[in-house]
Amino acid sequence: MLHDPSRDVTSTYLSTVDQWIDSSEEVLVVLRYLGMAGAKDYAFIESPVAFRQLVDSVPIGTDIIVFKEHYLPLRGEVSDDLIQAALVLVPNGSEYLCVDLVPDTNVEQRLSGRLGDTHLDLLEDLNDCKGHPVAFGPVPPFCEADNEFMISASKGGIDGPR
């Protein structure tokens, strides 16, 4: 593990996220955990206070990736209609993300998700969630470098395999 102070959660980072929340009313957060073999959680944050609570709740070394743009536009209780809309929204062979909007942990803001890249996987994932509220869409580009639509920090400035 490497300590990189430039990757820490700074006041500039927090201020940018605050501005994005104020302008778009909601940001998508992807949490990637240090040394957890790719484990991820997701959150939809609607206030600066809620974002700070999320940052405070994650372990040191968590990569906190925030998206300014609205991702996962298909939302609602999984039904046959939502499944059909999902099949149209994400072509077979393209990566998708399905986030369960009901927390499955005792940490309220963190949501679980399923990633896939085939319509067969998509059908299986959504059929498993029938009757549950989800957010669905193409996978956000969380592995890209920071840009005008995405900003990331590593809590404590600790970087390493995720």
Q: Are residues 127 and 145 in the same domain?
A: no
Q: Are residues 131 and 114 in the same domain?
A: yes
Q: What is the pLDDT of residue 118?
A: 97
Say if residues 144 and 150 touch (Cβ distance below 8 Å).
yes
Q: What angle do the packed helices 80-89 and 119-128 form, to 10 degrees?
A: 150
24, HSE (Cβ side, Cα atoms, 13 Å): 18
Exposed / middle / buried, residue 41 (Cβ in 10 Å: 0-12, 13-18, 19+): buried
Q: Are residues 20 and 39 in the same domain?
A: yes
Chain centroid offset of residue 85 CA: 21
Percent of the chain with pLDDT over 70: 96
Domain tally for the chain? 2
Q: What is the pLDDT of residues 139-153, one digit of tens each?
A: 999 889 999 999 999
Give the global pTM: 0.92
Q: What is the pLDDT of residues 21-70, one digit of tens each?
A: 999 989 999 999 987 778 899 999 999 999 999 999 999 999 999 999 88
Q: Are residues 120 and 151 in the same domain?
A: no
162, pLDDT greater than 80: no
Q: Are residues 117 and 86 in the same domain?
A: yes
Q: Are residues 27 and 59 in the same domain?
A: yes
Q: Which amino acid is residue 113, in one-letter code?
A: G
Q: Are residues 109 and 159 in the same domain?
A: no
Q: Are residues 2 and 64 in the same domain?
A: yes
Domain with 50 in it? 1-70+141-162
Q: Are residues 112 and 83 in the same domain?
A: yes
Q: Are residues 96 and 40 in the same domain?
A: no
Q: Are residues 39 and 20 in the same domain?
A: yes
Please state, rounded to an integer, the average pLDDT across all residues of the chain: 92
Q: Are residues 48 and 78 in the same domain?
A: no
Q: What is the 3-state secondary structure (H, E, C) of 99-130?
A: EECCCCCCCCCCECEEEECCHHHHHHHHHHCC
What is the rounded (10 degree) CA torsion for 75, 123, 144, 58? Answer: 70
